[in-house]
Structure 1
């Protein structure tokens, strides 16, 4: 395809728009995959007394973002950080969210960087 000098700017803009939309679609797919992985890992790594807490991990779209949450949200902070008992003393923390978060953030960044290098 030949392009005149007059149309060069338009052709560059068109190619950049195509590239941008392709990258945006791939990043959206990565976001979906990574959050699905995170929910699965949280279900596996969560403390299991009755199993309800571990089963309660879910994700939902909020605008352009995907939020991972636990339906029994009151427990997440208490389990992750530990807490004071009613009669004194402390319940030890059961750290399970932070390792999954760190791993998933790293995975997301790596996969997006791979897409941008292509």
Structure 2
């Protein structure tokens, strides 16, 4: 492939634009993958009440994936509990009992957050490296 000197800047610009789009898409996929893994972790570590109706809290975890920006290349992921949202804070951090005493917290959101915090930079770096190889 030969390029005329006056077309060189246009050719380089097109290559760089394609590379930038590849990276944006790869990073968006890394964000979504990280959110999915965080959801699995929080579900696995969520407490389950004994007796009838147990497991409702654990089954209530959902993930909301949103894409925005030009060509939908910016991703945002939210992990939330649809059925028992107000309980998340109480179960994670513990709370006072009505008759006195305290219920200890059961960490299940924090481990998922820490795993996602560790995983996202790894996946992002890998995505950038692989985008350069295409």
In structure 2, the gaps of 5 or more residues are 69-75
Give me the whole-angstrom Cα distance separating, in 2, the residues matched to 1:86 and 1:33: 41
Instruction: State how far apart, in whole Å, the 2-side matches of 1:103 and 1:39 are.
Output: 11
Between the aligned partners of 1:32 and 1:40, the Cα distance in structure 2 is 13
Give the structure 1 partner of residue 13 of structure 2.
13
Q: How big is the shift at 1:87?
A: 1.7
Normalising by structure 2, we get a TM-score of 0.80
Q: Which of 83, 107, 113 is equivalent to 2:125?
A: 113
Q: SS of the counterpart of 1:3?
A: coil
Q: TM-score if structure 1 supplies the norm length?
A: 0.90
Q: 2:96, 2:8 → 1: CA distance?
A: 68
How many matched pairs? 118
Map of 1:3 onto structure 2: 3
Q: Which of the numbers 57, 71, 79 marks the counterpart of 1:68? A: 79
Aligned position for 1:54: 58
CA distance in 1, matches of 2:120, 2:43: 19
Looking at structure 2, the residues matched to 100 and 87 of structure 1 have their Cα atoms a distance apart, in angstroms, of 32
Residue 98 of structure 1, aligned match among 110, 122, 125: 110
Q: What's the CA shift for 1:104?
A: 1.5
1:89 aligns with 2:93: no
Is 1:38 the counterpart of 2:56 in the alignment? no
Deviation of 1:117 (Å): 2.4
Structure 1 residue runs of 5 or longer lacking an equivalent are none
